[in-house]
């Protein structure tokens, strides 16, 4: 009898493993279901195609410096009057995270309606913190696609967006997470990650005509999707929030310069673009229709002079290699990414590094950043006129799995400012020759790579090569 019970348990356990492993991989072998895009997004895409600049009410500014990136976030929250949305892939429970959360709580205390969403697996914000915040009557907290082992087909996808919206008038969108190394205050300077944010200001309140309306519509869909879990707490004790305020007070004493600017300091020198558009991926968990990849291919197909591409890491996915190859056949392509010395993402960067010949075969000019720190920005520049910035990496995850957002800005003036900022990283980069070595540059030294790091990245590449689709 005991043996029969043991055999039965083995069968049940085996079936559970088959269900889990099969559910994790098999659904991604099939084409994704087609989905309709939100009306607000479609409206602005039509205006873009019609080259309609008559009703652009949005002004834009690039935020490249780490200090300004945190300062503008704090200023946006401190000056919020009615509504505040924060949607982030990763949000730390320490230092700058507590500084932002403290301002969020103060905003809620004065009546601002707050919504905070983070990724359910990589969001870092503790569940206890989420529940504690949700006790406040003016704060809603949610996680996108948390771990549900009984639905293994949802385990691969994350919310990768990074944006804020304030009062339907201000927004900030880019590639920075809420962590110290994006704001230049990490204990180890080598962990610093350079990135971009686009600061948006809607100068006129014309319903449906602002890019911020499209971003709001997208964010509303995020909150309404079945993959989103909203936290609820029936306790009314807000005393634990005092811990966040204490940590924030210590942070403000240590870094007072983050609190010295107001929104006026950021809105005084903004540019009104000719056109502006929001790109994003579908929201359902599972294999996604590659909306952003398709949109980028359509935009770059109209390039007449040049294309610049920046990504912190890339994977040799056929759809991405074809995109780069086809574009290079029409116009010169410059590609900027990290070097092995500056790389900070082992799974994704190792896939690029050890398949670099496939990227070189496209014929584009590849530059690799040689700093001790790393670049984390995701951007494209078409014909030195159209700038595209957001959360989308040139890897398989961003194409097929994760939620992503990108802003498309048509403005030669803005593009000139952006490329000036970009050149700070180009001047610390080396061009890669056809043999995967570097062309010598007198002013730039090749970054050091320890044998340990090389072997570790090599091992990870071989282990994950069969699962490149999920990297």
406 & 311 share domain: yes
**pLDDT for 236:** 60
254 & 341 share domain: no
Is 8 part of any domain? no
Q: Say yes or no to pLDDT of 13 above 70.
A: yes
Q: What is the mean pLDDT of the chain?
A: 90
Instruction: Over range 195-216, report the average pLDDT.
Output: 86
**pLDDT for 279:** 96
Is 22 part of any domain? no
Flag the least confident range among 150-159, 210-219, 258-267, 399-408. Answer: 150-159
pLDDT band at 42 (very low <50, low <70, confident <90, very high): confident
351 & 456 share domain: yes
Q: Say yes or no to pLDDT of 3 above 80.
A: no
Higher pLDDT, 148 or 275: 275
- For residues 421 and 177, what is the distance between their CA atoms, to the nearest angstrom? 20
237 & 143 share domain: yes
293 & 441 share domain: yes
Which CA distances in Å does 103 have to 10, 231, 241, 243, 244?
A: 53, 20, 11, 13, 10
Is 66 part of any domain? yes
49 & 170 share domain: yes
**pLDDT for 125:** 86
435: left (phi over 0), alpha (psi -120 to 50) or beta: alpha
56, 67, 62, 70: which is closest to 270 by C-alpha? 62
**Which stretches does DSSP call E strand in 8-103?**
58-63, 83-88
Q: Residue 466 burial by CB count (10 A; 0-12/13-18/19+): exposed, middle or buried? A: exposed
Calculated CA dihedral for residues 318, 285, 155, 224, nearest 10 degrees: 150
Is 21 part of any domain? no
Higher pLDDT, 238 or 246: 246
What is the torsional sign of CA 140, 146, 149, 153?
positive
122 & 233 share domain: yes
**pLDDT for 161:** 97
Q: Say yes or no to pLDDT of 26 above 70.
A: yes
Is 231 part of any domain? yes
pLDDT band at 471 (very low <50, low <70, confident <90, very high): low
188 & 243 share domain: yes
**pLDDT for 93:** 86
Residue ranges making up the domain that contains 47: 42-267
Is 379 part of any domain? yes
295 & 186 share domain: no
Instruction: Over range 383-387, report the average pLDDT.
Output: 97
pLDDT band at 53 (very low <50, low <70, confident <90, very high): low
CB-based burial, 185-194: b 16+ in 10 Å, e otherwise:
bbeeeeebbb
260 & 299 share domain: no
Q: Say yes or no to pLDDT of 79 above 60.
A: yes
Is 281 part of any domain? no
Number of domains in the chain: 2
388 & 446 share domain: yes
- For residues 140 and 18, what is the distance between their CA atoms, to the nearest angstrom? 37
Is 13 part of any domain? no
Pairing of strands 333-338, 307-310: parallel
pLDDT band at 20 (very low <50, low <70, confident <90, very high): confident
Higher pLDDT, 320 or 128: 320
Give the CATH number of the domain where residue 395 resides.
Answer: 3.30.870.10
242 & 291 share domain: no
């Amino acid at each position: 009898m005991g043996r029969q019970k043991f055999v039965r348990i083995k069968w049940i356990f085996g079936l559970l493993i088959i269900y889990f492993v099969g559910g994790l991989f098999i659904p991604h072998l099939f084409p994704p279901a087609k989905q309709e895009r939100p009306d607000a997004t479609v409206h602005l895409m039509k205006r873009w195609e019609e080259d309609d600049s008559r009703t652009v009410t949005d002004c834009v500014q690039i935020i490249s410096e780490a200090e300004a990136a945190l300062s503008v976030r704090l200023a946006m929250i401190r000056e919020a009057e009615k509504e505040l949305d924060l949607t982030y892939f990763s949000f730390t429970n320490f230092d700058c995270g507590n500084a932002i959360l403290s301002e969020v709580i103060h905003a809620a205390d004065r009546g601002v309606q707050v919504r905070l969403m983070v990724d359910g697996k990589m969001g870092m914000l503790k569940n206890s913190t989420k529940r504690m915040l949700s006790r406040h009557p003016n704060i809603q907290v949610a996680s996108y696609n948390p771990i549900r082992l009984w639905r293994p087909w949802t385990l691969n996808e994350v919310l990768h967006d990074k944006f804020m919206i304030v009062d339907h008038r201000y927004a900030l969108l880019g590639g920075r997470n809420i962590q110290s190394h994006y704001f230049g205050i990490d204990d180890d300077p080598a962990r610093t990650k350079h990135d971009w944010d686009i600061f948006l200001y809607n100068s006129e309140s014309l319903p449906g005509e602002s890019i911020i309306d499209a971003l709001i519509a997208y964010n509303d869909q995020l909150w309404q999707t079945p993959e989103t879990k909203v936290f609820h707490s029936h306790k009314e004790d807000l005393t634990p929030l005092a811990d966040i305020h204490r940590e924030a007070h210590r942070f403000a004493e240590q870094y007072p310069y983050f609190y010295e600017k107001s929104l006026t300091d950021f809105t005084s020198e903004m540019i009104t673009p000719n056109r502006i558009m929001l790109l994003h991926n579908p929201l359902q968990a599972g294999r996604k229709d590659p909306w952003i990849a398709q949109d980028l291919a359509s935009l770059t197909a109209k390039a007449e002079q040049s294309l610049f591409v920046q990504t912190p890491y890339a994977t040799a996915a056929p759809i991405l290699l074809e995109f780069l190859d086809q574009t290079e056949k029409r116009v010169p392509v410059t590609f900027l990414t990290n070097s092995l010395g500056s790389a900070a993402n082992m799974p994704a960067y190792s896939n690029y590094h050890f398949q670099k010949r496939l990227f070189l075969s496209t014929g584009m000019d590849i530059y690799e950043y040689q700093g001790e720190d790393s670049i984390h920005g995701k951007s494209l520049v078409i014909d030195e006129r159209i700038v595209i910035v957001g959360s989308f990496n040139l890897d398989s995850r961003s194409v097929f799995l994760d939620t992503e957002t990108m802003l498309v800005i048509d403005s030669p003036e803005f593009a000139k400012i952006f490329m000036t900022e970009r050149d700070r990283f180009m001047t610390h980069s080396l061009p890669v020759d056809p043999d995967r070595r570097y062309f010598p540059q007198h002013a730039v030294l090749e970054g050091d790579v320890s044998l340990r790091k090389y072997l570790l990245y090599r091992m990870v590449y071989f282990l994950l090569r069969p699962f490149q689709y999920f990297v």
